[in-house]
């Protein structure tokens, strides 16, 4: 136990560990405690409940809606920027004890829009990472598989795209778009291997 | 007649032998059963036993069983303690105790201690959930013989440790703020899930770097692919 390495800053009420042997899990734990401390200190109610903070909700909503407004004006990069900011704010400003169910729905909804915009603006790697996040949080709808296969195809990762498409078809065997994408991936893979 | 007498003599002799045999048989029989019993009963010597003898016997028996049980338990606990744990780090718990230790030498905001305790409780919940997720598979593997007795015992011990750990955090919550444990468990659960979400979100950037390196991608500053 590296008890001597832990430091407490009485000014900002944060803890840190500047030892050389700091492990990744300990670093994550320190970050989590600091985030919790900041959230609890700003909370005046000692018996705080997992309710959502209305102020944060309003700010996130206004940023997201401004992104959608940009999208209607066909200003894709600006729309993407605003929605990205809204997603970041949802992750940074919300207290860790606020209701998880609502936070999850909120972030999934915003990320779906962000993914579409990333794919439209050619940011396939960003889109792929966001899709991975959606899948890690339990989303397994056909459109997630379609977008992931598409992003992998655009990144020329044909084998990965084929695996993803097959997995999507296993879960949604009647999805026409996935079937069409599967044929396209096979054609591109054959082309890449010199079979055509 | 002579023949007859010889026969009679012989017969009588034989008969006499038989009667002697019968007599012997009966005698032996009597000796083996009633005769012997009656004879032994007469010879029994009564040894005076103290009233406390059975009590002393029972006490010795119980005490020896208790000593055996205590030693057996201590041995089992020692063996369990020597086994490697399933979770190899306890950062959340250690950080809480380190902060508590620091609070004896310098003034630490009470809410920082609360935050460390909430983090510890959330970690205990995360571990409980992980073990519950794993339980059916490990049970199946144990029944199939894929994992040994040692691992099965480790798994069961770990489940109990995690339960004890969460109970301890609730007790600490009561010490920090009386009446808080009612809310504490709910808060820990929300924190546990939100932290999991946050970790996944933060891993996006790292994963992106790995993809760029592994797939040898050329990415522009705006995130688009270089043509």
- Residues B207 and B220: their CA atoms lie apart, in Å, by 17
Does residue B176 belong to any structural domain of this protein? Answer: yes
Quick one: pLDDT at residue B92? 94
Quick one: pLDDT at residue B3? 47
- Residues B146 and B126: their CA atoms lie apart, in Å, by 26
Does residue B221 belong to any structural domain of this protein? Answer: no
Q: How many CB pairs under 8 A join A and B?
A: 141
Instruction: Indicate whether A46 pLDDT > 90.
Output: no
Instruction: Indicate whether A81 pLDDT > 70.
Output: yes
Does residue A15 belong to any structural domain of this protein? Answer: yes
Say yes or no: A9 contacts chain B, CB-CB below 8 A: no
Say which of B106, B118, B211 has its CB closest to residue A125: B211
Same-domain pairing of B24 and B7: yes
| Domain with A35 in it | 3-41
Taking the CA of residue B104 and the nearest CA in chain A, the distance in Å comes to: 13
> How many structural domains does chain A have?
1
pLDDT (tens digit per residue) in A94-104: 999 999 999 99
Nearest CA among B199, B180, B164 for reference residue B118: B180
Say yes or no: A1 contacts chain B, CB-CB below 8 A: yes
DSSP label at B179?
T
pLDDT (tens digit per residue) in B26-80: 444 444 444 455 555 567 788 888 889 999 999 999 999 999 999 999 998 888 7
pLDDT band, very low/low/confident/very high, at A44 (cuts 50, 70, 90)? confident
Helices A100-120, A76-93: axis angle to 10 degrees equals 160
For residues B84-108, average pLDDT: 90
Say yes or no: A45 contacts chain B, CB-CB below 8 A: no
Same-domain pairing of B65 and B135: no
| Domain with B3 in it | 1-30
Decide: A14 and A37 in contact? Cβ < 8 Å.
yes
> How many structural domains does chain B have?
3
DSSP output for A121-155: TT-HHHHHHHHHHHHHTT---HHHHHHHHHHHHHT
Quick one: pLDDT at residue B30? 44
Same-domain pairing of B74 and B167: no
Nearest CA among B153, B61, B66, B204 for reference residue A133: B204
For residues A164-179, average pLDDT: 95
Question: Which residue is associated with the tokens 């999805």?
Answer: A175
């Amino acid at each position: 136990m590296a008890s001597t390495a832990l430091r407490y800053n009485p000014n900002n009420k944060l803890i840190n560990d500047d030892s050389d042997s700091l492990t990744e899990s300990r670093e994550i734990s320190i970050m989590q405690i600091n985030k919790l401390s900041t959230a609890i200190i700003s909370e005046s109610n000692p018996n705080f409940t997992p309710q959502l903070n209305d102020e944060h909700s309003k700010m996130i909503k206004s940023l997201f809606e401004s992104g959608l407004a940009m999208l209607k004006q066909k200003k894709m990069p600006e729309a993407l920027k605003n929605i990205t900011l809204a997603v970041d704010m949802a992750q940074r400003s919300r207290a860790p004890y606020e209701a998880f169910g609502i936070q999850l729905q909120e972030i999934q909804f915003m990320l779906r829009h962000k993914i579409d915009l990333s794919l439209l603006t050619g940011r396939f790697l960003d889109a792929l990472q966001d899709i991975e996040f959606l899948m890690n949080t339990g989303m397994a709808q056909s459109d997630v598989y379609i977008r992931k296969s598409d992003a992998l195809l655009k990144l020329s990762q044909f084998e990965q795209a084929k695996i993803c498409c097959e997995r999507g078809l296993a879960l949604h065997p009647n999805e026409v778009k996935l079937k069409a994408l599967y044929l396209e991936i096979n054609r591109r893979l054959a082309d890449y291997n010199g079979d055509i | 007649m002579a023949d007859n007498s010889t026969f009679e003599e012989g017969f009588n002799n034989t008969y006499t032998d038989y009667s002697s045999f019968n007599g012997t048989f009966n005698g032996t029989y009597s000796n083996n059963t009633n005769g012997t019993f009656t004879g032994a009963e007469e010879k029994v010597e009564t040894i005076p036993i103290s009233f406390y003898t059975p009590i002393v016997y029972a006490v010795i028996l119980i005490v020896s069983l208790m000593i055996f049980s205590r030693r057996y338990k201590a041995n089992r606990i020692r063996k369990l303690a020597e086994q490697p744990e399933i979770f190899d780090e306890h950062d959340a718990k250690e950080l809480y105790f380190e902060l508590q230790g620091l609070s004896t030498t310098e003034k630490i905001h009470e809410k920082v201690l609360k935050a460390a305790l909430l983090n510890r409780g959330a970690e205990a919940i995360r571990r409980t959930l992980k073990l519950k997720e794993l339980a059916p598979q490990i049970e199946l593997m144990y029944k199939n013989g894929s994992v040994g007795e040692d691992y099965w015992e480790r798994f069961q011990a770990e489940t109990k440790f995690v339960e004890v750990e969460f109970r301890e955090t609730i007790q600490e919550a009561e010490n920090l703020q009386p009446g808080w444990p009612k809310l504490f468990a709910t808060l820990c659960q929300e924190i546990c899930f939100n932290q999991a979400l946050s970790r996944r979100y933060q891993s996006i950037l790292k994963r992106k770097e790995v993809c760029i390196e592994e797939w040898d991608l050329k990415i522009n500053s705006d995130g688009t692919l270089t043509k």
